[in-house]
Structure 1
Amino acid sequence: MDPLSQLPAECLQHILIFVISTYDSKSITTLASLLCLNRHIFTIAIPILYRYPFLPFNGPPTFGNKTARPSRALAFTLLSSIPSTDLHPALAFELRSDSTRADPIPTRYNYLAQVRRLDVVQFAFVEYDARGRVKNVEDYSADKLSYIHGKVLREMYLQEREDTRCTRHSTLEEQLPVYYSNLLYREAIWSLAAPILDQLESLTFPLSDIHRYLQIVDRLRRLKHAVVVLDIPFHWICCRGEVSEAAQLRKDKAVRDVVQFVKDHNRCFPACLRTFSTTANYFWPRGYTAALSKEIDHAVFRILPYHNPTYLAPDNWGRIATHRQTTDLGRVTSILRLDPAVLDRQLLQQCRALKEVNMHLLAYGCFDWAVQEKEMMKIGQGVSTGCLASASDAISSSSSPPPAYSALGLVPLERVTLQQCSMPSRNLDVIAFAFGQTLKYLQVETLLGPDHVETIRFGRGWVDLPVLRELELSAPRHRIALNPQLIAQCSSLIKVKITDNTFEYPCQDVIPWLPAQVPGLQHLSLRGWGALTFHPAALESTKELRVLKLSMARPEGYCYIPPIDELDASYGVRGNDKDVDVDVDVDTDGFSAVSDAIIRPHWTWDWDLPCLTSLTLTSEFAFRFEFKMLKGCPALERLRLHTRTVEGLHTRVISEADLFVPGADGSQDRIVAPRLKRLYMNGRWATEDPSVLSQFLGYMFPRLGRFDARGWCGVTIGSLVEAIRSRAGNLNMVRTDLDVPLTEEERFEVGVSPRVRGGKKDKDALGTRLFCSGTEYVVCKQDRFSKRE
């Protein structure tokens, strides 16, 4: 017996539940394969596998029939356990003619007895071709076409839908095949649900069948979740929403029937039905059901209270708003994309367990109550901060019931995500102050300021955010000037991403952040002003850093780099000297133009970053990059350096000295990036002589797999090919915009030949693919020349 079968039944059950917890196709396949091991595992796994049988397939059908065919096969597997005499004639006919069932489906085990959630996917009963596309009606079998256009189905359709169908833009013959699929879906749900109504906890059924479910409400004793598919469109988009009098009467009756279903169930089993919703249908894409959905939801919400919601969002707000005064919000942990107008003080203050707010924007002053609570808590402890006093005084002057925070504590808000925020923002200041001890995640996707303001300031006056782990800010139309002390006050940060579109700038305007200690930082991505003001001393403590990106906006792919003299002066560099310390209060020869400027911090480029795997530098950061940094990055796998400017005045020459660092004994140690696999260098890069390029690729990057060299100068395609040959081990792709010799003789001398797709492989070719200006070549071996000679 295998070890898995020797486990106690309870242990094995917990393991199998964990395996299928995601309910995706992989977990279903894994669990299904375990059924074949032995009867013991089969007996325990079957109830778990069929508890929610259609959950992995809910969603739109994927291309290639990856979900449509399995869901159809599953539905027919379950239906095969029901006697054909109990099925609707159309469903029985479809089962007999189904082409997906190559073999008879065994029915010895009662799969239906295990089902607790029945939500048959709608597209399981639509015809698909072998490529996974909806099959054209003319491709149906002759027997099926005969049944679809026969007298029985036609009369059934006219009786059900004559007063609700679109008659302007489609004929009866065009609508009958769609109705046939709709009918199969409806009858399949009823046939599967009828024998197991007493055990169902969740049920999805079509509006067209509401009369049958009204008659069996008293059997749905365990039903907690109900979904009605609006498969009768009373409004048609193509008819501009016009509704006939007869259709309006039918619609009103349908709404009354749904409301009656909920009322009857609530009467038979009080507080059992927890959620009710409607969903659009898959069969009639031109049918407009949004208005009907709102009408039904509004009517149902008045009779179905929401007990102890855990989140507030558009999908449940209508139900909560109907019973606003009687709904307990004490367990709400998330508020997601609600209308800002509904987030008043009373509602927010009732959400004592609130941990996450994700909104498009916030109404002004919506969190001022939290300031008062924090102030009062500190006053009770003999401490008063005095911060935001005007808000506290205004709030405390109003009469209010005994504070909830005295018994339940302060609201533990941890995550705030705003799609838009206008700066300066009182709301952000209030959040940072009131929830500073619990806030772990802050993201603002779009920071906006007045149109005439170039720079918006963020974090001014913020004191301490000791548990903040992630900070993400973006300002597409402004420059973000971060409080220089902010990062230093957030010692728990693991991810910082600040983005704006700063392009050109004067160096004397750059005021660096204060040095920060962020030992847990793993991802640092700064684009724009944040990158310029970043203090490199922070890298001395980031031993866990994995991704580092310092970049500037690049309109049309070009960088801006200040003139070299100005750039050097801003770093305190004199002439060709390395960085030197300069006292900004003392005039220094040669710096009269920038004598009052702030000297930016010294970049040592020798940080110890053992976990760094990705490094991206553009503009001045790439131009000033020193390869000795690679010595402290043994795990680096991707390096991207972009210095291409419109003027083309900034050239970096790689010399042999750049390939070494001084050793402990005075010798020169070669710089090696042992794990680097991808190197991208765009701009005016050059080498001191051709041999340096060979050393650069051959020794510094022993595992390099892809090399992109664009905009290089002083390097020929011949010297590049020689460098490729010198380390033709792992290097499998090189992309460049260097000019390639035009004639066959010239290409032969260089050692490249055009690659012929699908042709016979050149035995003299190396494994490196060379892309030059859109054309692919292969690099030939060195001994090819000697053969020709």
Structure 2
Amino acid sequence: MDPLSNLPIECLQLILQVLVQDRQNGALAALLQTNKYIASITLPFLYENPYRKGMHCYMSVQTTRSRVRSDHVLTRMLLHQLPLDTLPPALSYLLLEITNSPLRKPLDYAAFIRHLCLPSWALDLDYYWPRHSHHREALAYMKGAEFAQLCKDHNLLPCYEENLGTQSEILQYHFQVILWRQACWSLASPILEQLQSLTIPVFDLDRYSAAISRLGNLEHLEFALDDIVDYSEEAYYGGDMVMSPQFESEAHARKERRLRAMVQFVRDHAQLFPGRLKTVICSDAEMWPDLNQTCPIETKLEILRILPPLKAPTFLSKTNFLHVSAHLQSTDLSQVQEITDMESPPCLWYDVHRDGREFLQRCRALKSIHMDTLGPGSFAWAVQEKRDMESLGSHSRNTNSSVQGGVVGAPSLQEPRPAYLEHGLVPLEEFNILESDEPLSDEDDNVVVAFSQTLKKLTMTAATYQQLHIPRILQVGGGWVDLPLLTTLYISAAWNRLSLDTQLYRHCPNLTLASFTDNTTRYRCRDIRTCFAAELPRLDTLDLTGWSGLTFHPATLHSTVALKKLWIAIGRDDVDAYFIPPRTELDRSFEDDLAGMEGGDGEGGNGGTPIQVTQERSRICRPKWTWDWFLPQLTSLTLTGEFAYRFQFRMLQGCPSLEFLSLNMRLTDRSEEFTRVLSKADLFMPMVTDNTGREGSFSQEQQQHQQQGGEAIVAPALEVVRLMGPWVIGDELLVQFFIHMLPSLADLEEEGVTGYTLERMCEVLRTMPNKIEEMHLSLPEPSEEDAKEMGLVGEKDDGVENDDDVRIGDDGVNAGGEDGDEVEEEAGLGVSLYLEWNKYFLKKEIPPDVV
């Protein structure tokens, strides 16, 4: 006997329960093949909830379609276990080839089912009928009078036919709706007594109401809204009948009857089995294309008020928030750790907060919250609790009283203990707030102050709409305190200007991700107030778009040795172009940089560290960008606008791991004013004479990097380069730029770059060792004769759609073939050149007749 069979049955059941929780259905199915003993214990776990997500193993990447097919097979197998004479005539057509089969019937899987939630796609005729011939008999049935009457009985009216296709397709769709309704009842009716979860089509609710006394174990109920009572003129065009007042009145009356029946069903069950039914949801059955059926929130609340309150929920989300709001005062919220995924109507979220201002305060175990704005003072209670706790702690120390278990100065027995004394301060770690109907106000300041010792992630998203033409200035960080545990800071302020407090970075020394985004496109240098430099040694990703990039202090980069991704940009002023202030204004903003502010070099002074600041008065000038940072882990660098214009290639020398570089200074106008003409000096390290007294402020690696003056700049790992805008690279620099400085370059895309010729570029690629595979150049397409002279072969239209099948032959391009790879290796360099979006291949050698 195998070792599993020797385990006590209780141990084996615990193992199986873990497999169910981890959705290891393949492992459960494998256990069925061991022996009868283990199979008999495994089957109840495998078929307890046969339609749960992940029940079936998908053999295709199209997992949704695979699940539909698997559910279809499962449904037919379960129906096949039922006596054929008990099935409705329509449903029997689904089982014709099974009932005629000599195979023995399977095991009684229905005996193990406790949760029967049949999805509307569980009977997929589009999958089933093309594989069997019996659909012809069913089609004949659908064209008969019996089926026509059945459609009327099921309220399948022609008011939505135009969205369903041909007459045969309409009949098949109606047939599928009827089959699903009948399958739900046929599978459930023999086992109603054992079901703990059940999906009920609302159209068939009368059937279930008549058998409600058999549902004594039912705990979770889903009403599937499968009857069309909500119509959309935009989605369906059913003629005058749809839009007639009589039709609308009848639909409204039918909807009211359905809603009342749902409420009465829950009320009757609660009277028969008090406290048994725990949850009820009302969802669209997803039966009708582009026509969602909804249940009014008032009806949902009426149903939920009949149920008992949730017992100490640990989370609040769209799945249970309505239930909580229906019993707001009687629900124990002290164990709630997460509030997230709130998709209930915003009005309900606001109503709950207004009706019970202490709602959030009651969530004493709260660690994570994703919420819409609720208005000023939403977290004032948390600030007050912290102040009270600190005040009691200070009083306790002054009076030499002991503090144990976080309880300080306990009140008298007659007074109720404050929540923060009973449970401690709320340990919030993650705060995500989305600006909705209420504008952002004091939420970030209050949250930072109240949860400064626990907060790890802070996300704020301002509204994306803007009613005024003048952008709103969103001030962030003015009321902040130190956040020693904060690692993620993400603030998005589209259609606003995000103004960061100058001390903000210093409050967050352990950041690993900092992202600030706004829509700043045009600006004046005199309005920029630079943030103070900070020590951020753990920073991994820095994403600054808009005003935050302009106010960032570059000296901070001297401490970011763990930085892997750096993005500094301004918003796009046009479709794909950027604004840069006039040259004189831009240059003047960096003159006399910090002469009397930070020791003369913008990175610290008086012999201190690069990020010490001796004076913290308002800034007049912006700190210069020295481009000499040592960032050994940086792999991606993106700069736009003035940041790309001021970029110095000597920065690459301090970024040995850089793989991606994008410099985009495409301008809306005045391109000639900001043309960057590269010279040989730009590609070599400057000779450094360190007379600033900074020598002691660098590590040994940084000092070695600083002393490499005069050497050629090399970016050994850089593979992808994007150059956009008025750059000028002469022919004489191509070898140094693309070969020596970028030895690993594989992919280049430039737009607007001038100064070099296609002939020289081809010569360099052909004669110099390189790893370049693809280049997108903005040069004009050469003539046929010029291309031949340069050894370029244009991609021919051979009817080959896949570029991978195009190979270079001795006399041009050859499509496909077994020897394609050898041909390319023999005759081509494997370099693709795109000129005006036309693809060319570069030959290894220019044909002798051309030379």
TM range (shorter): 0.7 to 0.9
State the partner residue of 2:219: 224
Q: Displacement, 1:347?
A: 1.9
Q: Displacement, 1:211?
A: 2.8
CA distance in 2, matches of 1:246, 1:599: 73
5 Å-filtered alignment, 1:294-333, equals 294=297, 296-307=299-310, 308-313=312-317, 316-332=320-336, 333=338
CA distance in 2, matches of 1:650, 1:102: 82
**Residue-by-residue CA offset, 1:35-56 (whole Å, 9 max, x unaligned):** 6985599778765554443333
**Residue-by-residue CA offset, 1:707-745 (whole Å, 9 max, x unaligned):** 10111010122222233335676432211211122x211
SS in 2 for 1:785: coil
CA distance in 2, matches of 1:106, 1:784: 75
In the alignment, is the contact (CA less than 8 A) between 1:166 and 1:236 conserved in 2? no
State the partner residue of 1:598: 620
State the partner residue of 1:506: 524
CA distance in 1, matches of 2:662, 2:67: 40
- Is structure 2 residue 841 aligned with structure 1 residue 778? yes
- Is structure 2 residue 152 aligned with structure 1 residue 158? yes
CA distance in 2, matches of 1:528, 1:245: 54
CA distance in 1, matches of 2:392, 2:6: 60
**Residue-by-residue CA offset, 1:75-113 (whole Å, 9 max, x unaligned):** 223333434344332222112269xx9999985455444
SS in 1 for 2:764: helix
Partner amino acid for 2:418?
A: P
CA distance in 1, matches of 2:794, 2:31: 54
CA distance in 1, matches of 2:298, 2:518: 44
CA distance in 2, matches of 1:501, 1:104: 71
State the partner residue of 1:369: 381
**Residue-by-residue CA offset, 1:279-319 (whole Å, 9 max, x unaligned):** 113334476632x4546423312211331334445554443
State the partner residue of 1:693: 734
What are the ranges of 5 or more consecutive residues in structure 1 without an aligned counterpart?
Answer: 385-399, 585-595
State the partner residue of 2:461: 445
CA distance in 1, matches of 2:497, 2:774: 38
Match of 1:675 among 717, 737, 749: 717
- Is structure 2 residue 645 aligned with structure 1 residue 650? no
SS in 1 for 2:373: coil
Aligned CA-pair RMSD: 4.3
Q: Displacement, 1:787?
A: 5.6
Q: Displacement, 1:356?
A: 3.3
State the partner residue of 1:570: 589
SS in 1 for 2:834: strand
Shift in alpha-carbon separation, 1:560–1:288, aligned structure 2, 3 A? closer
- Is structure 2 residue 662 aligned with structure 1 residue 622? no
Match of 1:380 among 383, 392, 403: 392
5 Å-filtered alignment, 1:317-356, equals 317-332=321-336, 333-334=338-339, 336=342, 338=346, 339-344=349-354, 345-356=357-368
Partner amino acid for 1:382?
A: S
CA distance in 1, matches of 2:113, 2:3: 29
CA distance in 2, matches of 1:616, 1:524: 11
- Is structure 2 residue 736 aligned with structure 1 residue 714? no
In the alignment, is the contact (CA less than 8 A) between 1:468 and 1:493 conserved in 2? yes
Q: Displacement, 1:752?
A: 1.7
State the partner residue of 1:745: 785
TM-score, normalising length: structure 2: 0.76
In the alignment, is the contact (CA less than 8 A) between 2:684 and 2:713 conserved in 1? yes
SS in 2 for 1:457: strand
In the alignment, is the contact (CA less than 8 A) between 1:436 and 1:465 conserved in 2? yes
State the partner residue of 2:579: 560
Partner amino acid for 2:146?
A: V
Shift in alpha-carbon separation, 1:674–1:329, aligned structure 2, 3 A? same
Which range is displaced more, 730-739 or 444-453?
444-453
CA distance in 2, matches of 1:410, 1:273: 35
State the partner residue of 1:756: 796
**Residue-by-residue CA offset, 1:615-642 (whole Å, 9 max, x unaligned):** 1111222222223323333332221111
**Residue-by-residue CA offset, 1:464-503 (whole Å, 9 max, x unaligned):** 2222222222233332221010111112222211112223
State the partner residue of 1:593: none
Shift in alpha-carbon separation, 1:636–1:549, aligned structure 2, 3 A? same
Partner amino acid for 1:616?
A: T
**Residue-by-residue CA offset, 1:379-418 (whole Å, 9 max, x unaligned):** 111279xxxxxxxxxxxxxxx9642122112223333333
Count of aligned positions: 740
Q: Displacement, 1:34?
A: 5.0
What are the ranges of 5 or more consecutive residues in structure 2 without an aligned counterpart?
Answer: 56-60, 234-241, 397-414, 604-617, 688-703, 801-805, 810-826
Shift in alpha-carbon separation, 1:280–1:510, aligned structure 2, 3 A? same
Which range is displaced more, 629-638 or 182-191?
629-638
Match of 2:426 among 411, 416, 425: 411
Partner amino acid for 2:675?
A: T
5 Å-filtered alignment, 1:98-109, equals 108-109=106-107
- Is structure 2 residue 340 aligned with structure 1 residue 278? no
Partner amino acid for 1:706?
A: D
CA distance in 1, matches of 2:796, 2:49: 52
Which range is displaced more, 532-541 or 627-636?
627-636
In the alignment, is the contact (CA less than 8 A) between 1:424 and 1:457 conserved in 2? no
Q: Displacement, 1:667?
A: 8.1
In the alignment, is the contact (CA less than 8 A) between 1:279 and 1:293 conserved in 2? no
CA distance in 1, matches of 2:221, 2:639: 54
**Residue-by-residue CA offset, 1:317-337 (whole Å, 9 max, x unaligned):** 443333233222223331635
In the alignment, is the contact (CA less than 8 A) between 2:487 and 2:510 conserved in 1? yes
Which range is displaced more, 216-225 or 532-541?
216-225
Q: Displacement, 1:229?
A: 0.9
SS in 2 for 1:557: coil
CA distance in 2, matches of 1:583, 1:543: 19
Shift in alpha-carbon separation, 1:639–1:47, aligned structure 2, 3 A? farther
In the alignment, is the contact (CA less than 8 A) between 2:510 and 2:539 conserved in 1? yes
SS in 2 for 1:521: coil
State the partner residue of 1:769: 832
Q: Displacement, 1:607?
A: 2.7
State the partner residue of 2:53: 56
- Is structure 2 residue 543 aligned with structure 1 residue 528? no
CA distance in 1, matches of 2:592, 2:788: 47
CA distance in 1, matches of 2:139, 2:322: 44
In the alignment, is the contact (CA less than 8 A) between 1:359 and 1:418 conserved in 2? yes
CA distance in 1, matches of 2:5, 2:715: 49
SS in 2 for 1:340: helix
Match of 2:444 among 419, 422, 428: 428
State the partner residue of 2:661: 639
Q: Displacement, 1:176?
A: 4.9
Partner amino acid for 2:53?
A: P
5 Å-filtered alignment, 1:231-242, equals 231-238=226-233, 239-240=242-243
Partner amino acid for 2:563?
A: L
Q: Displacement, 1:610?
A: 3.0
In the alignment, is the contact (CA less than 8 A) between 1:605 and 1:629 conserved in 2? yes
TM-score, normalising length: structure 1: 0.82
Q: Percent identical across equivalent pairs?
A: 35
